[in-house]
Amino acid sequence: MESQTLHFLSQLAENNNRDWFQEHRKDYDAAKADMESLVGYLIQQIGKFQDLGNLQVKECLLRINRDIRFSKNKAPYKNNLSAGIGPGGKSSGKIDYYIQIQPHDQTFLGGGMWETTSEQIARYRQEIDYNADELKTIIEQKEFRDFFPEISGESLKTMPKGYPKDHPEIELLKRKQLFFMHRFTDKEVASKDFGEKVLKGVRILKPFTDYMNYILYEQHTEQ
């Protein structure tokens, strides 16, 4: 990524209004092109070890405009550039590789269970109750833990209904969201091999996203 992209996003965070944005439209267009280049590279490389179909860059990029209809924060723009890369793109509804470019060392690659339905959470818990070892084998592997030390998302304060309080997998069962993140410094983002670093993370994350997509979506459709 170009350092100018991070600079633009940093400036946008301080001047988050439509007038400023229009005055700096060329800077935004350059930043967007920079993001498109990164996503294009990732699609090409990920396609070598995962079937992405005929995925296009535009199918992955998220809009920079914020939906402010129901938000107290009326800032019209996000202070980041982001994309969801996976079969079907950002609108597939499935778990993908999410990359967010944000200055001040807030850039991250992540993936996991986030905006899930109550039915999907029930499927997840049923699978954990039945066989937690399959998931634990993936997320407790040293390479995975070293690259994805951050676990984000909400958990229940008490044990979900239908499961004993002394269940050996109590912490996993209480999860409403299970999202893993790896943060990159601004220096890493601006480095020439940033795309390769993100790709390394995608390879490590893939077994987890494959597992979650199977239990939340594919397993259900097979039945």
Domain ranges of the chain: 3-222
Q: Rounded to an integer, what is the distance from CA 40 to the centroid of its chain?
A: 17
Specify the pLDDT at position 70. Answer: 80
* pLDDT one-digit tens code per residue, 142-200: 999 999 998 999 999 999 999 999 999 999 999 999 999 999 999 999 999 999 999 99
Is the CA virtual torsion 106, 107, 111, 115 positive or negative? positive
pTM for the structure as a whole: 0.94
Please check whether residue 97 is in contact with residue 46, taking contact to mean a CB–CB distance below 8 angstroms.
yes
Topology classification of domain 3-222? BirA Bifunctional Protein; domain 2 (3.30.930)
